[in-house]
Structure 1
Amino acid sequence: MKKILIASMVTLAALATGGCAVTSGQSTVGQYVDDATIATRVKARFAEDTQVSAMRIQVEALKGTVQLAGFATSQAEKDRAGQLARATPDVKEVRNNIIVRPATNN
């Protein structure tokens, strides 16, 4: 079941980044593909990690710089997401713009 979830997340990430134009800052099609691969790798790491929610955190990559956005339920989750992104191959820099918003029990 976990492998299916990870494969689904990777596929969704690839589809989400697939609609972007190469002219959004990448110099070549190759760079665009590299950035899409980096973003997919980061999302896959989130999906495999028990502390980070891959569903609440968006990942974008541009020229090896990864930007994280979305919401975390704790500072520890935000920090862990940044650590996972930094440990991903070909990531040069991480901009962690995740907002910490504790979960509410409604």
Structure 2
Amino acid sequence: MRSLLLVALATGFVTVAGCASTPHKESTGEYFDDSAITTKVKAAIFNDPGLSAAEINVETFKGKVQLSGFVNSQEKIDRAVSVARSVNGVQSVHNKISLKQAP
């Protein structure tokens, strides 16, 4: 009887612990908001004549945009960051864009 009670309690604890949320998960609403922000930033970069959307990757998590990729000049890096910051809903921009190495 006592071992049955211990098994039931252990099962209950494991079940409750498995339901705990982690701070890195997004809610469904946050996921869709981030997807919309990513799409808007990509569109803004695509529509900027001085930038190439093929060179710049955009990811968003909880309104924080990360830019990555390789471009030919520091001016393009600065412009991409500026364009991303101008998009509605962007809380911050983390720049990981690198300069291409000269051949």
Q: Could you say whether these structures have the same fold, taking a TM-score greater than 0.5 normalized by the shorter chain as the test?
A: yes
TM-score, scaled to structure 1: 0.72
In the alignment, the residues of structure 2 paired with residue 75 and residue 63 of structure 1 have an alpha-carbon distance, to the nearest angstrom, of 27
Q: Which runs of 4+ in 1 moved over 4 A?
A: none
Is 1:50 the counterpart of 2:49 in the alignment? yes
Pairwise mapping of residues 25-104 of structure 1 onto structure 2 (< 5 A)?
25-101=24-100
- Please state whether the residue corresponding to 1:90 is helix, strand or coil: coil
Unaligned runs of 5+ in 1: 1-22
Q: What's the % identity of the aligned pairs?
A: 43
Decide whether aligned partners of structure 1 residues 57 and 41 sit closer, same or farther in structure 2, where only a CA change above 3 A counts.
same
In the alignment, the residues of structure 1 paired with residue 87 and residue 102 of structure 2 have an alpha-carbon distance, to the nearest angstrom, of 28
Q: Which amino acid aligns with 2:79?
A: R
> Aligned pairs, how many?
82
In the TM superposition, residue 101 of structure 1 has moved relative to its aligned partner by: 1.2
Structure whose alpha-carbon radius of gyration is higher: 2
- Please state whether the residue corresponding to 2:90 is helix, strand or coil: coil
In the alignment, the residues of structure 1 paired with residue 80 and residue 25 of structure 2 have an alpha-carbon distance, to the nearest angstrom, of 24
In the alignment, the residues of structure 2 paired with residue 27 and residue 37 of structure 1 have an alpha-carbon distance, to the nearest angstrom, of 14
Decide whether aligned partners of structure 1 residues 101 and 89 sit closer, same or farther in structure 2, where only a CA change above 3 A counts.
same
Q: Report Cα offsets for 1:45-80 as digits up to 9, x if no partner.
A: 011001111001000000000000001110000000
